[in-house]
Amino acid sequence: MKREIIDASQLELNEKVVSIKRVTKVVKGGKNMKFTALVVVGDGNGHVGVGLGKAKEIPEAIRKGKEDAAKKLVNVALDDNASIPHDFEGVFGGSHVILKRAPEGTGVIAGGPARNVLELAGIRNIRTKSLGSRNKQNVVLATLEGLRQLKSPEEVARLRGKAVEEIRA
């Protein structure tokens, strides 16, 4: 699958820190402490990315995570009522996230890590269920993988060589 490159400098990106972990490495002279930050960025209009930053201080780890996420932005297909065009399941590692489209007024029904990704992508009506591993990093990446593989009705029609009306019927 060809990945579309999105220029992050032209987008107004918001960020959310999903998790910060303290990592310790035991060495001969004692313990080396570092921090790992999982950051989600998005413009609220169909672009979202996830990044991981590692550093000796928390602010530096968050900055690195934000930069990493901006490099990995993906385009998300949205329908008319700010939901997804069809149901899909995202899988990453041991985590499975089921994404179900929802009518206007439903809101974002999702757990913490998946909610961060969906809200920053600009999705306002969706139902999700997280299955398998509850590891925050894997849940976030499974959600992103599911969103990445969504196809708009126009894209499906083009791939099948049909009109959009035939696909929706």
Tokens 């303290």 locate to 22
Which residues form the domain of 18? Answer: 8-74
| Nearest in space to 90 (alpha carbons), one of 74, 106, 79 | 74
Give pTM, 2 decimals: 0.90
Q: How many domains, the chain? A: 2
Looking at the structure, do residues 68 and 129 belong to the same domain, yes or no? no
CATH number at residue 55: 3.30.160.20
Give residue-wise pLDDT tens across range 29-65. 999 999 999 999 999 999 999 999 999 999 999 999 9
Looking at the structure, do residues 94 and 58 belong to the same domain, yes or no? no
Give residue-wise pLDDT tens across range 80-130. 889 999 999 999 999 999 999 999 999 999 998 999 999 999 999 999 999
Q: Is residue 1 part of a domain?
A: no
Does residue 79 register a pLDDT over 60? Answer: yes
Q: Is residue 66 part of a domain?
A: yes
